[in-house]
Each structure stands twice: as C-alpha cells, then as structure tokens.
C-alpha cells in the first residue's frame, strides 16, 4: 500500500537573511531570473483567511515589478548594466526568494498556528517590504531606457513599499485573542460555548470535519519543525482544542482509514532487515536499546520482559549484571533512514505516547477530557449502530494519540460500553463497529493501568477471546490477538491467559488460516505466552509445533523463534513433535535471515541433545548439512556461530559412532520411544 506523502512532511523554511545566496548571473540572465521569480510570486494565491492584505499587496507589487523586468528584456539597448544596477538586481533576487518562501510557508502550514504567530509574520512581511523599498530607492532607474509608463509603475511600487506599516489586521488580532480566551477557559475547566467555537472555526475556513482533521495533521507536523519547547506546548494546546471542536461541532466520521492499518500493511509488503527487528516481538524496532549482555531489543519489549520478573537476556540466556537500558542511537538512525528510503512511517520513541514527545499542557489535557466525556456520553445513548460506529471510531483514533487520552477514556467508563460492541450479533450485522470497538480496547491496553481495568471489567476478556475465535473479519481477529499480546505483558495476566484453552485454540486457528498480518499477530502473541513454562505445555498440547511448521515458509523468523522457545521449555513431548521440523530447520539454516538462522541453530541443538540418535540421524540426512553449518559458523551472528559449532560437534561425534552419552543427554529417551507416548 502506498504511503501518503504527508507521512514525510517537508521541513518549514522560515526565511532568514542568510537563507538565500545571491546569483552570479550575467546581465540579462540575471533579469530573466528576476522576471521568473517575480512571476512565480505573482502566480501565488493570497493567504486564505489571515494576512490577506499583506499577501495580496506583496503579490501586486511582484506583478508590477515583473512588468519592469519584461521591459528590460524587450529593450535591446540594455544589454549591459552598471555595477550598481547589477548589485541592486542581485539583492532584489535574494529579497524575492525570501518573499516567495514566506508566502509558500504561510499558505501550506497550519492556519491556527499561523494565527498564533500573526504579529511576527506581519513583521516579516513588513521587513521584506522595507528591504525592497530601500533597494528601489537607491536603484539608478535613470540609467535604464524605460518607457514612461513602465517608469511610472516603478515609482508607484517604490511609493507603496515606502508606505508599508508593521500593522496586524484588527480582525486577525481579534481572532487570535478569541482563541487564547478559549484556551484560558478550557484551562479553568470551563466548557467553551459551541457558537463561539463555530464562529472561530468559520473565520479560519474550518467548516467541516475533513478540514478540521487536516488542520490537526498540519499542527502535528508543525511540532516536528519547532525547536522552542514553549511553541511545542502551545501547539499541543491547539490540537486539543481542535479535537474537541471537531467532535462537538461536526460529529463523528469513519471515512478515513486508521493510520495504524496503513502502516502495518505497508510494512508487511517490505522485507524488514533482520537486524532492524526486535528479537522478542519480531517487529521493526522503534527505540532500540542495548542490555548488559550486549544484545539489542526494542525498549518496550525488553521492559515487559524485565518487569515480568526475568533477569536474563532473552537471546543468550545470560544473567544480566544490571537492568540499565542504553539507547542504541546509531541503530535507530539507520532504521529511520531505511524507513524513509522505503517510504515507511517511522515513529520515534515517545511519538505514540505524547504528541511528538511533548508533555500535555493543562489546556490540552482538559480539552482531551472534555472531548472524551462528550464522546463516551454520546456513545452510551447512541440511537443506532451507525451512530455508535462513528463515535467508536473517534474514540479509537483518540486512544491512539497519547497516554492522557487513554487514561481519560478508561476513567470515563468507556470500556464496559465498548465491550457491548464485541458480540457476535454486532459483528455479523456491523463488522466495522466490532473492529473499531476492539481496536479501541487494544489502544487503551497500551497504558499499563488500563490492562488491569480491562481484565477486571465484566465480559471484557471473554469478549476479546470471542472475537479472536469468531470475529467477523480477519482484522478483528488479528487485533484481538494483539490485545491479548498487550495484556500478557503483565506476568500474572500472561499466566492467566495461558491457562485458557479458548485463547490457545483461537491463536492456533488464526496462525493457520489467517492472512499474513493476522498470522503474525497470532505468532507474536504465542511467543509472548511461551515465556511461561506452564503455558508452553498447553501450547504443545494445542498443536503449536504443528502450527509453526505449517507457517514456517510464510513467516520463518516468527516460526523458528517460537519453535526455539517451545523445544527449550516444552519437555520431551515437544522434542518428539519437533522431529518433523528438522528438515525444514535445515532449509532455514541455509536460506533464512540471520535471526531465523540463529533460532534454527539453537532449536536444532536442543532437539539433538534431548531427542536421541534418531534425531541426529535425521539432521545428518539433510543434504550438505555440514557445509551449511560451516557457512553459519562463518557468517552468522555470534550466537548462531556458537550454536552451529555445537551442532557440528554433535554431528561429528555421531558420524564417528561415539557413545551416545557423548552425543546427547544420557537421561533422555529416543524419539521412537517418545512417539509411542504421544496421543494418536
């Protein structure tokens, strides 16, 4: 799926004196450049709603000066200019460049932020006009052979530039004061009057939900361009105000695709480099960090691992000397660069928790609370499923923005209302409502406190599990699996979820039958549940090994990572069932990514050590297996090389006919004996 160019907003280019370089054109070429630049400015439309007079006056001056430049090019006498004329032309070129940049940025940016900066922007227009006035004053127009009419135009422009004043349109200034007054009211927890809100938005040209949504996106982009912390906070307050205004004035809409959905689809179409994937979640890392063992993980995943009571490195099993997490900035920069090359949105650390890492202001927080309570109250009394779906979609989008929104939505009592939308009856008649309700719960579960709220809400967990098993769409089932993954981040909930046969069954069915995205959601959740040894036994009984073998060609990294975890903790039964995976693991060892080869090698070592001679013989029968192992020893990761060396030693001892005690664990029965113990 193509990614919208808005995902990568161009940096704003606020003009500065040093932002343009004087061209070194000769005579007429310089005039041609000035004509072209003045015509480009003349073709621009005046800024809508704000700074109308300033922008219109600037455009008119450019049109008049373009006529002067056209006259110079038509006059064959003026083929050579004096140094003073050339110097003026060069300086004019710089001023025109800065005018064009200022005009373009004002037209393409956020109207609300433009309003907040109305005074300095009006000053910028005035300063550029004064610079142009100075150049026109010292310009030796009498040295040029201009017609009388054109010379009068030149004088007229000079006069208008001289008369310019650094004033702000009273209407613009009044509108700015109204917005600031509204923010002050919200900060004091006073609900804004709807008529006043509508009047302000009308004056800004924001007259429907679509224009409001675009304005919010512009403000979010604008934060990325700000260095000053106060400006970021001010923009965050404006975003909160606009979200509230959009909901109360224009209602709810589901016409726009959820951003998460487009992101995940675009990632699924691209082969993500193994080094960019988190070894725990197998997802693209957003905030890579290094642990004491030297391994790199995504911060969120390794935090969940440590908070679950583990003190070892998930990849190496090495006990961690400390739990400090060191940011891997070099890798993060590489990932960001790769994402831009692939046109994949890259959300840096904190972008999912706050608006671009900006802590919410009092006004933004109160605006969020007002928005949430308005939506939740509207959802509780929705007269139809269509209306409920529209409101639920708004909650879904809001729950994705930041932690404050997630907390407010849960505290407003939204979870029990959303649970009512998860039933099979709703799913069959209104599948979009089921998807939106479940995805809202998924987004809410990102906040740690909300995990407890969801688990303790009557019917919430059963509702999620029912959608996992019988959801109306694959998207609903995949998001149900993702919700279970999120909830299982708490150790006690992981054990509780792992005891539920319906969860195991639902994940297995989704991994077998779902589309690629849904398969991945199911496998990542299975991997998380496999962190509990007791749950591994239930996974084996539920057919996890058969399932991952079935998808190993589609999602090799996820499948072999699960296989490694299961054979390591699943006991003799898991080893016996993994017998049929040996040849496929050999293929992964030869053709897989670095991460997949590492897990495949580790799995084979465990299987061979505990499975008996028949397992080793099966591995030895894989064509060119020793050469494959040698390649892993030479080109694999450090852990893959160690595991491959152990694997090669096992094969060499087996081929030499050494005692089985030297090849495998002496306390383990053969696979043939184990197989007789398995249920038919």
CA distances from 510 to 219, 483, 537 (A): 39, 14, 19
Question: For position 438, what pLDDT does the model report?
Answer: 95
Token pair belonging to 150 = 């054109």
* Residues of the chain scoring pLDDT < 70: 1-26, 76-79, 253-270, 340-360, 658-680
Question: For position 17, what pLDDT does the model report?
Answer: 41
HSE of 84, CA atoms in CB hemisphere, 13 A: 10
Structural domains of the chain, ranges and CATH numbers in brackets: 27-168 (no CATH), 175-250 (no CATH), 275-342 (3.30.40.10)
Alpha-carbon distance of 352 to 400, in angstroms, equals 7
As a whole number of Å, the CA-based R_g of the chain is 33
Cα 175 from chain centroid? 34
Question: For position 473, what pLDDT does the model report?
Answer: 93
Yes or no: say if 388 and 382 are a contact pair by the CB < 8 Å rule: yes
Question: For position 487, what pLDDT does the model report?
Answer: 92
Residue 102 phi, psi dihedral angles, 5° rounding = -60, -45
Question: For position 354, what pLDDT does the model report?
Answer: 44
Question: For position 71, what pLDDT does the model report?
Answer: 86
pTM for this model (two decimals) = 0.74
Give the pLDDT confidence of 548-592 residue by residue, as tens digits: 999 998 888 889 989 988 988 888 888 888 888 889 998 999 888
Question: For position 658, what pLDDT does the model report?
Answer: 65
Give the pLDDT confidence of 96-135 residue by residue, as tens digits: 999 998 988 888 888 999 999 999 999 999 999 999 989 9
CA distances from 455 to 25, 452, 483, 491, 507 (A): 72, 5, 11, 13, 19
Question: For position 258, what pLDDT does the model report?
Answer: 42
Yes or no: say if 260 and 446 are a contact pair by the CB < 8 Å rule: no
Alpha-carbon distance of 488 to 527, in angstroms, equals 11
């Amino acid at each position: 799926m193509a990614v919208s160019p808005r995902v990568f907003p161009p940096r704003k280019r606020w003009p500065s004196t040093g932002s343009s370089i004087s061209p070194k054109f000769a005579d007429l070429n310089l005039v041609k450049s000035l004509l072209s630049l003045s015509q480009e400015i003349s073709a621009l439309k005046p800024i809508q709603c704000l700074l109308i007079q300033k922008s219109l006056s600037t455009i008119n001056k450019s049109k008049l000066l373009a006529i002067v430049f056209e006259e110079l090019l038509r006059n064959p006498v003026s083929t050579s200019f004096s140094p003073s004329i050339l110097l003026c032309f060069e300086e004019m070129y710089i001023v025109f460049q800065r005018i064009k940049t200022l005009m373009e940025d004002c037209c393409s940016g956020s109207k609300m932020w433009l309003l907040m900066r109305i005074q300095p922007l009006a000053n910028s227009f005035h300063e550029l006009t004064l610079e142009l006035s100075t150049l026109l004053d010292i310009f030796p127009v009498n040295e040029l052979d201009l017609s009388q009419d054109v010379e009068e135009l030149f004088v007229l422009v000079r006069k208008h530039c001289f008369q310019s004043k650094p004033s702000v349109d009273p209407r613009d200034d009044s509108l700015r004061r109204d917005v600031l007054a509204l923010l002050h009211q919200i900060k004091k927890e006073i609900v804004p009057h709807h008529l006043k809100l509508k009047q302000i938005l009308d004056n800004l040209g924001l007259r429907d939900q679509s224009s409001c949504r675009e304005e919010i996106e512009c403000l979010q982009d604008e934060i990325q361009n700000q260095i000053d912390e106060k400006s970021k906070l001010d923009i965050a307050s404006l975003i909160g105000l606009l979200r509230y205004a959009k909901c109360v004035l224009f209602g709810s809409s589901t016409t726009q695709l959820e951003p998460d959905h487009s992101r995940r689809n675009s990632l699924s179409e691209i082969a993500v480099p193994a080094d960019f994937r988190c070894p725990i979640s197998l997802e693209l890392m957003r905030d890579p960090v290094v642990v004491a063992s030297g391994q790199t993980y995504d911060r969120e995943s390794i935090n969940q691992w440590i908070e679950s009571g583990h003190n070892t490195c998930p990849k190496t099993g090495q006990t961690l000397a400390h739990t400090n997490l060191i940011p891997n900035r070099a890798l993060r920069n590489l990932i960001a660069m790769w994402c831009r090359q692939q046109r994949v949105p890259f959300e840096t650390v904190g972008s999912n928790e706050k608006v671009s890492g900006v802590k919410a202001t009092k006004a933004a927080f109160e605006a969020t609370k007002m928005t949430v309570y308005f939506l939740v109250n509207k959802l509780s009394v929705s007269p139809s499923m269509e209306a409920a779906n529209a409101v639920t979609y708004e909650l879904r989008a809001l729950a994705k923005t930041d932690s404050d929104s997630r907390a407010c939505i849960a505290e407003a009592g939204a979870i029990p209302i959303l649970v009512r939308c998860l039933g099979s009856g709703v799913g069959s008649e209104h599948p979009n409502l089921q998807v939106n309700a479940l995805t809202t719960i998924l987004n809410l579960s990102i906040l740690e406190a909300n995990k407890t709220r969801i688990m303790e809400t009557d019917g919430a967990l059963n509702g999620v599990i029912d959608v996992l098993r019988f959801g109306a769409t694959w998207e609903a089932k995949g998001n149900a699996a993702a919700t279970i993954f999120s909830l299982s981040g708490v150790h006690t909930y992981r054990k509780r979820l792992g005891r539920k046969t319906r969860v195991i069954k639902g994940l297995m069915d989704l991994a077998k039958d779902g589309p690629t995205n849904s398969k991945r959601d199911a496998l990542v959740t299975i991997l998380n549940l496999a962190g509990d040894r007791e749950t591994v036994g239930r996974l084996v009984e539920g057919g996890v090994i058969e399932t991952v073998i079935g998808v190993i060609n589609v999602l090799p990294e996820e499948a072999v990572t699960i296989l490694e975890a299961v054979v390591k903790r699943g006991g003799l039964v898991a080893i016996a069932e993994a017998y049929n995976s040996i040849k496929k693991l050999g293929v992964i060892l030869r053709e897989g990514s670095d991460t997949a080869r590492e897990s495949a090698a580790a799995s084979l070592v465990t299987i061979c050590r505990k499975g008996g001679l028949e397992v080793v013989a099966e591995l030895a029968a894989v064509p060119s297996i020793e050469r494959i192992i040698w390649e892993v020893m030479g080109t694999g990761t450090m852990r893959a090389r160690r595991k491959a060396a152990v694997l090669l030693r096992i094969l060499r001892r087996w081929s030499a006919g050494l005692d089985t005690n030297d090849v495998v664990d002496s306390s383990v029965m053969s696979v043939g004996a184990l197989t007789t113990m398995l249920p038919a």
